[in-house]
């Protein structure tokens, strides 16, 4: 079935093929991708769009000595296949399998680990400068999408690279579709230029002069299209000090090979603009590239995605709450850094378009933008993944918290995230949030509590965060009202003896399972900050062992808050802190990952028994 593909185990094998064989290889790669990802899930549409580019890069450049740095890494499956990992694709994004992103410890061809956006130019520039310092002819190539180009870090790197005179090639893979549709000035740069007064006046004047000469008018119109498509986009990058080339067809193997071959011989910073189609070769992905951007297992014949669970995800709970609260309060505004679909905001964007703001891949800007809105009496809700909020930590402190502004953070993907692995895990948010003055930090134990906490956070009038996990909860019925919770108050969910388990957020359900085995007391703490100190002290005085359980690193997390509370009050009691270990956890099945960390019911019970027996 895969006649050519099965002969390729490294880029050296690829380079032995004749040029006329490469279109067949591209077709086989697309077929293999569709078949493989339908069984594992993963990033399909972006990879289908980068097939010819990946073939051309590994054909022209002497990888791995020449360095390829892929931005984000959503488009690296073909790269993995061509660099000896074809057989491993069956374990893509699974425990003990290969990552869905580039990883330096996985292959020498993965020159830089990625997962977050807009880092490729900086990293590739560092490699290009290193080659220059060594006196080497090695080249460094950054491959970045138009969505990632909206990130400020990419422009910082471009600004620096233009002055470096290093042998750096930046390839802009322009498919007009990142995860959510790209937004911002860069995406509209050409349109704005073309609608300017000077250009409009020039065009009107030309039409007046040439309208009596039809062949000349037709020629002028064609020249205009050439002018718009070939010259104007380059001016921006030329100003940064790059030699701009393009745009060219990113699916034309011959054009790619010839262009890259020429660029490989050029000195200094080069910028190649290619145009591709996301989802190319699979009609369903071409029609709905957002659905097939990061897709679960699906039936390749009809495209039906296999779903697990019948009750709503926490993301959907947030999306419903956002619409309901916006209907009640016209001051609510919703903000996302290019994650509309992932954060559950499509319905809000449709129902309240004037109050919906997608700021692009610009987390730092998102928070300060929210702060500015809050200064003027609006009530921003920032929907953001835990792992992406890390990118705006200074803005969280400096622009929101110091000024004590009413910004609500709906933090999705708190804790482990399964197949996306270490780069996307929300392992640290309870630690980095609870250390900030003025912040209120909540973690819901179920879907209805998530809705209540969002309402509570929104009505506080101060910086607040509701941190919830990926996927579905225990299936608790959701009340339609917008009830609030008493701030800083937990609740005892089970009365027991000797051992008290203080569960934070998603850990309540397994804590209750463990408690049934041990006859332990269980408290649903709800608030990480302010901590329910009255409840903590009561449980400490009535039990011999306090156990804290959280889906967050132990260092500086919710358990640390409990220990600090006891120390302040001079209480000495045996304690056991359970949480994520001090390591970066790779991809896997979420339930199994929690079990491996000892955070399922059996693991919590086992840890407690080991402590009490010893």
Catalytic annotation, residues = 278, 363, 391
HSE on the CB side for 189, CA within 13 Å?
14
Q: What is the side-by-side order of every strand in the sheet holding 574-580? A: 491-494, 521-524, 499-503, 545-553, 574-580
Helix (H) / strand (E) containing 501: strand 499-503
Q: Three-state DSSP class for 67?
A: strand
Give residues with Cβ within 8 angstroms of 360, minimum separation 6: 147, 150, 151, 182, 183, 184, 337, 338
Tell me what percent of the chain is helix, strand and coil, each rounded to the nearest 5. Answer: 45, 15, 40
Q: What is the distance, to the nearest Å, from the Cα of residue 390 to the centroid of all Cα atoms in its chain?
A: 11
- Rounded CA gap, 47 and 448, in Å? 38
**3-state secondary structure string across 456-497:** HHHHHCCCEEEECCCCECCCCCCCCCCCCCCCCCCEEEECCC
Give residues with Cβ within 8 angstroms of 282, minimum separation 6: 30, 34, 44, 45, 48, 292
Pairing of strands 356-358, 140-145: unpaired
Q: Three-state DSSP class for 409?
A: strand
Neighbours of 254 (CB within 10 A): 14
- Rounded CA gap, 440 and 462, in Å? 8
- Rounded CA gap, 447 and 311, in Å? 10
- Rounded CA gap, 335 and 565, in Å? 35
Residue 526 Rama label (left phi>0; alpha psi -120 to 50; beta): left
Q: Which two tokens stand for residue 577?
A: 């802190």
Q: Which two tokens stand for residue 33?
A: 């991708």
For residue 75, what are the CA distances in angstroms to 2, 78, 453?
A: 21, 7, 37
- Taking Cα atoms as reference points, which of 77, 75, 57 lies closest to residue 67? 57
């Amino acid at each position: 079935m895969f006649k050519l593909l099965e002969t390729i185990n490294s880029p050296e094998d690829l380079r032995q093929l004749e040029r006329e064989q490469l279109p067949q290889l591209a077709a086989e790669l697309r077929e293999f991708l569709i078949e493989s990802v339908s069984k594992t899930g993963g990033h399909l549409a972006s990879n289908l769009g980068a097939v010819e580019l990946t073939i051309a890069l590994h054909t022209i450049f002497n990888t791995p000595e020449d360095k390829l740095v892929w931005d984000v890494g959503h488009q690296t499956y073909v790269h993995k296949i061509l660099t000896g990992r074809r057989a491993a694709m069956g374990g893509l994004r699974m425990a003990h399998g290969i990552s869905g992103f580039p990883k330096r410890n996985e292959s020498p061809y993965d020159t830089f680990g990625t997962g977050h956006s807009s880092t490729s130019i900086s990293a590739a520039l560092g490699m290009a400068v290193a080659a220059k310092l060594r006196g080497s002819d090695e080249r460094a190539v950054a491959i970045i999408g138009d969505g990632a180009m909206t990130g400020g870090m990419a422009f910082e790197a471009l600004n620096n690279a233009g002055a470096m005179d290093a042998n750096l090639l930046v390839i802009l893979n322009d498919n007009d579709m990142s995860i959510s549709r790209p937004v911002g000035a860069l995406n509209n740069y050409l349109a704005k230029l073309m609608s300017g007064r000077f250009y409009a006046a020039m065009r009107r004047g030309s039409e007046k002069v040439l309208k009596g000469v039809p062949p000349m008018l037709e020629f002028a119109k064609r020249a205009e299209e050439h002018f718009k498509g070939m010259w104007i986009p380059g001016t921006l990058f030329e100003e940064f000090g790059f030699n701009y080339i393009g745009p060219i067809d990113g699916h034309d193997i011959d054009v790619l090979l010839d262009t890259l071959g020429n660029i490989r011989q050029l000195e200094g910073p080069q910028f190649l603009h290619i145009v591709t189609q996301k989802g190319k070769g699979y009609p369903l992905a071409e029609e709905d590239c957002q659905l097939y951007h990061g897709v679960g297992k699906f039936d390749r014949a009809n495209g039906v995605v296999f779903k697990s669970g019948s009750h709503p995800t926490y993301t959907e709970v947030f999306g419903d709450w956002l619409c309901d609260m916006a209907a009640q309060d016209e001051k609510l505004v919703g903000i996302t850094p290019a994650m509309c679909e992932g954060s559950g905001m499509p319905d809000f964007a449709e129902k309240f378009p004037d109050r919906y703001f997608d700021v692009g891949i610009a987390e730092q800007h998102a928070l300060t933008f929210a702060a500015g809105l809050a200064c003027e009496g609006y009530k921003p809700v920032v929907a953001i993944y835990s792992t992406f909020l890390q990118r705006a930590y200074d803005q969280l402190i400096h622009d929101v918290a110091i000024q004590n502004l009413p910004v609500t953070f709906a933090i999705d993907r708190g804790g482990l995230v399964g197949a996306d692995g270490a780069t996307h895990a929300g392992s640290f948010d309870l630690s980095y949030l609870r250390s900030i003055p003025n912040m209120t930090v909540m973690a819901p134990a179920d879907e209805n509590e998530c809705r209540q906490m969002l309402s509570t956070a929104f009505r506080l009038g101060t910086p607040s965060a509701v941190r919830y996990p990926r996927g579905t909860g225990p299936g608790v019925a959701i009340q339609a009202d917008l009830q609030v919770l008493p701030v800083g108050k937990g609740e005892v969910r089970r009365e027991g003896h000797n051992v008290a388990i203080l569960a934070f957020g998603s850990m309540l359900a397994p804590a209750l399972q463990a408690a049934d085995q041990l006859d332990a007391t269980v408290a649903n703490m709800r608030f990480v900050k302010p901590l329910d100190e009255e409840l903590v002290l009561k449980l400490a005085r009535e039990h011999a062992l306090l156990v804290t359980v959280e889906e967050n690193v132990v260092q500086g997390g919710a358990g640390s808050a409990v220990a600090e509370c006891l120390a302040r009050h001079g209480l000495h009691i045996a304690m056991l802190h359970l949480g994520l270990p001090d390591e970066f956890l790779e991809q896997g099945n979420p339930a199994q990952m929690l079990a491996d960390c000892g955070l399922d019911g059996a693991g919590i019970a086992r840890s407690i028994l080991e402590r009490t027996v010893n």
